[in-house]
Amino acid sequence: MESYGIKVPEGVADAERGMFDRIAKVAHEHHVSAPGLAAVVAEYQKIQGDVIASHEAEQAAMARHGEDLLIARWGNDFEPNKSTVRHVLSTLAGSAGIAPDDPYMAGILNNPAVALMALEFSRRTGEDPTRTPSGFGDLRSPQQRAESIMAGSDPTWGRQYTEGNTEEKQAAYQEVMRLLNEAKR
């Protein structure tokens, strides 16, 4: 490729580097000019970028749609149910030996069908729905989690603590107190 004036990006996997070499070989065999090949490669890379961007946009839209479905179904219980789902799935994953940073976990955590099943599993097994998720959901100390709730930035309890109705604020306050007591141990 370099003989055609095309630089292969650094850090490219060997398989992709081999692809560039194959393209250069075919271009040479068919007497494709250096500017012609450069234009073809640039267009191919643009196409790849467009495909990746389209896939990422599609995935983001699916995640938003899935969350919208759960919000519509769960209403005001969305945040507590989401917390329960994270807890159940992280517990199951941990028991199965799946690492918190496993690349497949994000897709599972964002799948509304899986979320509905995890919540139903929680109800049928009596799993505590107010328990803060661990492992996949929150690696902060109890003190940090309490501070996050009081600041309103905690995704599960923050809104309830700062903007919720009386019942939600009381539940969030109790969670803050539980975390602060846990932090003292």
Q: DSSP string of 46-92? A: HHHHHHHHHHHHHHHHHHHHHHHHHHHHHGGGHHHHHHHHHHHHHHH
Give which of 44, 43, 28 is closest to 4, Cα–Cα: 28
pLDDT at 114: 92
CA dist 88 and 86 (Å) reads: 6
Give the model's pLDDT for residue 83.
86
Judge residue 180's burial from the number of C-beta atoms within 10 Å of its C-beta, 0-12 exposed, 13-18 middle, 19 or more buried: middle
pTM surpassing 0.75? no
Count other C-beta atoms under 10 Å from residue 45's C-beta. Answer: 12
How is the chain split among helix, strand and coil, in percent rounded to 5? 75, 0, 25
Instruction: Tell whether the model's pLDDT for residue 50 goes beyond 90.
Output: yes
As a whole number, mean pLDDT of residues 41-57 equals 90
CA distances from 117 to 42, 96, 102, 125, 141 (A): 46, 17, 20, 12, 29
pLDDT, position 140: 67
pLDDT tens by residue, 90-143: 888 888 898 877 888 877 877 899 999 999 888 887 654 444 444 444 556 788
Where in the chain are the domains?
Answer: 2-55, 61-138, 140-185
**Dist CA 105 CA 118 (whole Å):** 14
pLDDT of 26 above 70: yes
What integer pLDDT is reported at residue 53 of this predicted model? 93
Proportion of the chain above pLDDT 70, given as a percent:
90
Q: Find the mean pLDDT for residues 18-31.
A: 87
pLDDT at 7 over 90: no
